[in-house]
Amino acid sequence: MTTIDATPLRGTERPGPRRQEVATRIKEYILRNRLKPGNLLPTEIELCEAVGASRSSVREAVKILSALDIVEVRHGHGTFVGRMSLNALVESLAFRGLLSGEEDHHVLGQVVDVRQTLEQGLAAQAIDVLDEEHRAELSALADEMENLAAQGKDFLEVDRAFHLKLMEPLGNDLILQLTEAFWQVQAIVAPTLRTEPEDRVITAQRHRAIVDAVAAGDPAGLRSAIAEHYAPIRASIARAVQP
């Protein structure tokens, strides 16, 4: 039986509810003043007056908001409205995936479902907006993956670039953020799977099939190629959960 150490960590006796309340007030201040990403927030003293809180409470609240990318602290320059990225979502999902990783890979399976659903759902739109330059870039990335796979090398960063390039012409920043966020979670959690040597080669080939479907202007073929692309990792998950 696993023994749980319930001893409080030193320095953790901080009043959470108060920090959260002040963090909420800062978010309300940003909305009320129609601030945008990159805009400078007031000085610490001014912010204390604006939200009705002490300097220590504001500092703790800013730490929370900084971790969520709602604000960005630039030492020597001030505190700015952040990029509102999905880093917090990535951290949370990746941790959940690693926590359950070797048992059931449930979170990883869900991430694959989301990625496939997103790309298949946007297949027709992607084909409509992908121009010759983007198609050439996708083809070059597929070439690079196939070359690396033939040498027995990983191609994680090339894979990331490929999927972002596929969604980029849609001009939707949230889709790009979601694509990258779920890609990152999969990249963090997937190494807990036991993969077969040929999986890397198969995955590279499946990216080539996506390029071919795009070049043919075939939405149904693209949706099919995307499904086939995720088949190897689904097979790895299935092997992992077998008794």
Same domain (yes/no): 209, 227 = yes
Q: Answer whether residue 2 shows pLDDT above 80.
A: no
Confidence of residue 194 (pLDDT cuts 50, 70, 90): confident
Final residue before a domain boundary, out of 81, 104, 123: 81
Same domain (yes/no): 61, 91 = no
> Per-residue pLDDT averaged across 79-86, rounded?
82
**E strands present in the chain:** 71-74, 78-81
- Which two structure tokens, joined as six digits, stand for 157? 């960063």
Instruction: Between 13 and 80, name the one with better pLDDT.
Output: 80
Range of the domain at 63: 16-81
The verdict on pTM exceeding 0.85 is no
| Closest to 210 (Cα-Cα) out of 128, 141, 157, 117 | 141
Final residue before a domain boundary, out of 44, 64, 81: 81
- Is residue 213 a contact partner of residue 167, using CB atoms and an 8 Å limit? no
Q: Answer whether residue 129 shows pLDDT above 80.
A: yes
> Per-residue pLDDT averaged across 110-119, rounded?
93
Mean pLDDT score across all residues of the chain: 85
The predicted structure's pLDDT at residue 99: 64
